[in-house]
Amino acid sequence: MRETIEPASPGRGTTARGREATRRPRLRRLVRGLTKSIVAVLVAMLALYGWAWLSLDRSAIARALVWTDADVGDQYRFPSRLIPADKGAGPLPRGREIDLRVTPPRAAGGDLAFDDFLRGTDTRAFLVVHKDRLVYERYFGGSDRHTRQTSFSVAKSFVSTLVGIAIAEGRIKSVEDPVTAYLPELAKRDPRFAQIKLRDLLTMSSGLRYWKTDLPWPWDDDTFTYYGVDLREVALDRTQVERPPGQRWLYTNYNPLLLGMVLERATGMPVSEYMATRLWQPLGAEADATWSLDSERSGFEKMESGLNATPVDFARLGLLFLHHGEWNGRRVVPKGWADAATAADTTTDPADFYQYFWWVDVERPGRFYALGNYGQYVYVAPDADTVVARFGGDWGVDNRDWLATFRDVADRLAHR
């Protein structure tokens, strides 16, 4: 009897095995496609990263890709120019150490040993100078009194001071000068630049556009003004007038870059050289400082940041302004400039909390401070005859809490 073979029913037997056999090649093709895509992306990323490493002295984008966010180690990445100290200068005199063990930082939630608070906030140096005497000095994280700390935007307060000295010497006529009197090429690109005065640059009310983002996007103005390999070119070619000057406060790194170029052209020398002879040595700085440069080829100081010095020498700038521009009986900065640079004044600009690259403590009239990213501070309290300097690897706490801490320290010393 002949065997009869029934056709397979749908979904069973030979047809199911056939479908499975069909799926397998498709899955293999999909896996191969994904693998090729991943490999291609990895190769592209490696090629991009390799290009960036080879282009660190030629491209701001390359620096942003390799170095990523700014940090206190940048003073070792950028080239720099030396600012020699006065070799005959002596250290700041010391006074009796003050007791800060029970200072209650608001962010700490109560009393805390002050050294523990500083250590826990990634502080590298904390100094208090009272009545011209160093009364508190602490270092952490491997730092000591000889370690150069980087300034970030504390450098802007030095730029402002150099402008005041250049005006006193007659190299710059006035803060009312248009920026185009020194940088005429700006007016050729846009006549509206002629409306911007040096005062507008100093008070961050220049009306220049400034675009930045918190996203990992290396094409904003923050990237080019910080990582640019030719900051003169960045300042001259990327700046754009957005509104008339003097109307709105807007923090922008273009302003100090333009003022740095004004100083260069007015004095006929690099800004670091001018600072060495007009400010650093007259201040009796104990140690050489350095100023980071945009690149070896360009050789322009990073005017918006990048001044590197010992904390006690940074504190000297605060003491200079506490004494209205005078140091040990010698006039270094005109009194009128020192007072105008740190005053809460809205008669010539829109912000009472900011003047000539100095922040004004509007909650404590008469007090002011220099401020840099990651919590670099030089806080000046003339009513307490006190300067507080803090430098760190990171903020640790926010700006509000640091100001509360500095106020508390100064308030404790106000009646001593």
Q: What average pLDDT score do residues 117-138 get?
A: 97
CB contact at 8 A, 162 and 279: yes
What residues are paired with 82 via a beta bridge?
290
* Model confidence band, residue 7 (pLDDT cutoffs 50, 70, 90): very low
| Alpha helices, DSSP H, located in 242-385 | 254-267, 271-275, 311-322, 335-341
Report the pLDDT value the prediction gives residue 12, as an integer from 0 to 100. Answer: 47
Q: What is the pLDDT of residue 218?
A: 75
Within 13 Å of residue 373, how many CA atoms lie on the same side as its CB?
A: 17
Contact 333, 307 (CB under 8 A): no
Q: What is the pLDDT of residue 232?
A: 98
Alpha helices (H) in 121-220, listed in sequence order: 154-168, 185-189, 198-202
Phi-psi region of 252 (alpha: psi -120 to 50; beta: other; left: phi over 0): beta
Euclidean distance between CA atoms 331 and 349, whole angstroms: 27
Fold observed for domain 65-413: Beta-lactamase (3.40.710)
For residue 45, is pLDDT > 90?
no
pLDDT above 70 (res 329): yes
For the cut 70, the answer to whether the pLDDT of residue 2 exceeds it is no
Mean pLDDT for the stretch of residues 163-183? 98
Strand ranges in 131-284 using DSSP code E only, listed in sequence order: 133-139, 149-150
Q: Do the strands 330-331 and 289-292 form a parallel or antiparallel pair, or are they unpaired?
A: unpaired
| 2 three-class SS | coil
Question: What's the pTM?
Answer: 0.88
Query: What φ, ψ does residue 9 adopt, rounded to 5°?
Result: -80, 155
Across all residues in the chain, what is the average pLDDT?
A: 90
Residue 50 has pLDDT above 80, yes or no: no
Task: Give me the pLDDT at residue 105, please.
Answer: 55
Residue 386 has pLDDT above 60, yes or no: yes
pLDDT of residue 165: 98
Q: SS3 of 128, please?
A: strand
Q: Look at residue 129 and tell me whether its pLDDT is greater than 80.
A: yes
- Taking the C-alpha atoms of residue 258 and residue 357, their distance in angstroms, rounded to an integer, is 13
pLDDT of residue 8: 46
String of b and e for 161-184 (b: at least 16 CB within 10 Å)?
bbbbbbbbeebbeebebbbbbbbe
- Position 348 pLDDT exceeds 50: yes
- Each residue's pLDDT tens digit, 356-384: 999 999 999 999 999 999 999 999 999 99
Question: What percent of the chain shows pLDDT beyond 70?
Answer: 85
Q: Which of 10-19, 125-134, 246-255 has the lowest average pLDDT?
A: 10-19
Q: What is the pLDDT of residue 17?
A: 62
**What pLDDT is attached to residue 19?**
60
- Give tens-digit pLDDT for 52-89: 556 778 898 889 888 889 999 999 999 999 999 988 88
In the sheet that 307-309 helps form, which strands lie side by side, from edge to edge?
A: 80-83, 289-292, 307-309, 149-150
The most distant pair of C-alpha atoms in the chain lies apart, rounded to whole Å, by 128
Q: Which pLDDT does position 74 carry in this prediction?
A: 96
